[in-house]
């Protein structure tokens, strides 16, 4: 794809998180790894809503001219999406790459967004939900 249409403008990832309130409500206190069907169904529901934001009617990044995504199931059985987005020329900025957490000192919204990202999108390996051995193998 890159040879045909050029470098993508955005690389987006999304990982299922058993701390999402809706997942906790659906599976209760049971570890997600014991209720993979329910947590995976909710992930795909959430992913369909996010796709609508990214390249559906909302287009939060601008007009998407092309997209690609791949869904993988990670070590603990949770789905994970890798997505590339290409935007229309009028919606792109040249040479801008950002891969940082939202800054909390800017305003209240920045602080709230940072807290959400840290709580819901950063994976830490816990014995109750990871299949890895003691050294990450």
93-99, long-range: CB within 8 Å, 24+ apart, which pairs?
Answer: none
The reply to whether the predicted model has a pTM over 0.75 is: no
What pLDDT is attached to residue 66? 93
Handedness of CA 88, 92, 97, 102 (dihedral sign): negative
Phi, psi of 3 (to 5 degrees): -65, -35
Contact 71, 84 (CB under 8 A): no
One digit per residue, the tens of pLDDT, for the chain of length 137 reads 788 888 888 888 888 777 778 777 877 777 766 777 887 888 898 899 888 888 887 788 889 999 999 999 876 677 889 999 999 988 877 655 566 776 666 666 677 777 877 777 676 666 665 655 555 44
Q: If you compute the radius of gyration of the chain from its CA atoms, what whole number of angstroms results?
A: 17
Contact 136, 74 (CB under 8 A): no
């Amino acid at each position: 794809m890159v040879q045909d249409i050029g470098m993508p403008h955005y690389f987006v990832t999304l990982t299922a998180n058993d701390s999402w309130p809706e997942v906790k409500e659906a599976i209760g206190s049971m570890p997600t790894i014991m209720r993979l069907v329910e947590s995976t169904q909710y992930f795909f529901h959430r992913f369909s809503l996010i796709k609508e934001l990214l390249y559906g009617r909302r287009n939060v990044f601008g007009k998407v001219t092309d997209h690609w995504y791949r869904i993988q199931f990670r070590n603990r059985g949770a789905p994970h999406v890798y997505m590339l987005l290409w935007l229309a020329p009028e919606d792109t900025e040249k040479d801008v790459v950002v891969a940082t957490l939202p800054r909390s000192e800017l305003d209240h919204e920045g602080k709230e967004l940072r807290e959400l990202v840290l709580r819901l999108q950063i994976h830490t390996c816990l014995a109750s939900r990871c299949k890895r051995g003691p050294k990450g193998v």
